[in-house]
Chains A and B, each alone.
Chain A
């Protein structure tokens, strides 16, 4: 299922395998993520979406195969070498991963304090600017535990982009959020991609927003990835994709504006797994 090598890939997986205990997570996975685009990684829970993202950040090493980030094979990198790569990557974790011993402003300021020699005043104004950008202008003095889920995710987003990364990895930004917050974060991410030319990689099982955002979809199924432009993939007859789409669209169709009728038409046989 690997596709022809395209030169503009910013991040490329090549034959990556990973086992956790007896469970195979990746089985020769190959795929690429184009520069300056929004790629959405879809897959059921346990399909390895988060693992994929953690591998790009070097938090998880593959058993075999290679991961290339910004023209470097990071597979064998030491922690120190990885730090150089990570300077170009921002990551938004599923729970936000804000340090809960620090205020929101201190969290956002942390990368600046650690890696730049900016004066305290400049740091504060930069932090303010970022917090305004994510719509959290008056929350700098709060601690992460005082924020709602959507707010802490936006604060974490502010921290992830404060060093102006080239690549932004976003793990499950929509899980557990109400539709308004989903829209808000979705808009923020798309905005970032448009204005900063970020290479954006988002994992999600939220079909509606994924389809709205994605320039490229990556389906994680059975330890491999099926990647391509959304239109192509949605029309594809690959059984595994169809199955996933139907299951997902059933659960979201009632609440979201996604039109599932074309998908329904493609379903040839009644599927027992529909009621998942």
Chain B
């Protein structure tokens, strides 16, 4: 095959464009981004996690600081979530964890809210205060009950 620089260039540009578009889809839309430093482990146990999944986000004040590593049942049949967050954070022992939903039907994530204690959490510690996921069904049910729309 004879070298033809123009064709090589065009092929190069083509491959580059393709990769850029794949990169755009992955990073911008897919939400795959560098999640910052990690390695600080926390445990949080919930009565109900809804459709929280491994790799769901962990945020503080709306800023992503880590992700859910695993979700499993513990001995008393509650959902035990292992979180991996930025070790540079200073979280006190009164920090609470709540499962929230982005928008009405969106993705579940865990929101951490720092407390006011001077005692700090160590890696591997458990967060005591947790708020479980609200499922849309129970919300609707509640709404229906409260407003008496059920029609008795």
Contacts and interface: CB of A to CB of B under 8 A. Distances in A.
The answer to whether any beta carbons of A and B sit under 8 Å apart in the complex is yes
Interface of A: 102-103, 106
Interface string B1-40: 1100000000000000000000000000000000000000
A124 B2 CA distance: 12
A120 B9 CA distance: 23
5 contacts: A102-B1, A102-B2, A103-B2, A106-B1, A106-B2
Contacts of A103: 2
A106 B2 CA distance: 8
Contacts of B1: 102, 106
A17 to B, nearest CB: 42
Contacts of A106: 1-2
A106 B1 CA distance: 7
B2 to A, nearest CB: 6
B63 to A, nearest CB: 56
A102 B2 CA distance: 8
Give the top 5 A-B pairs by smallest Cβ distance, nearest first.
A106-B2, A103-B2, A106-B1, A102-B1, A102-B2
A6 B30 CA distance: 77
A106 B3 CA distance: 11
Interface string B65-98: 0000000000000000000000000000000000
A120 to B, nearest CB: 11
A63 to B, nearest CB: 40
B11 to A, nearest CB: 16
A177 to B, nearest CB: 29
B3 to A, nearest CB: 11
Contacts of B2: 102-103, 106
Contacts of A102: 1-2
Nearest to A101: B1
B7 to A, nearest CB: 12
A106 B4 CA distance: 14
A248 to B, nearest CB: 44
Nearest to A106: B2
Nearest to A105: B2
B4 to A, nearest CB: 11
A102 B4 CA distance: 12
A1 B52 CA distance: 87
A109 to B, nearest CB: 10
A103 B1 CA distance: 8
A103 B2 CA distance: 8
B146 to A, nearest CB: 75
Nearest to A102: B1
A21 B1 CA distance: 40
A266 B2 CA distance: 59
Nearest to A141: B2
A102 B1 CA distance: 7
A146 to B, nearest CB: 15
A76 to B, nearest CB: 36
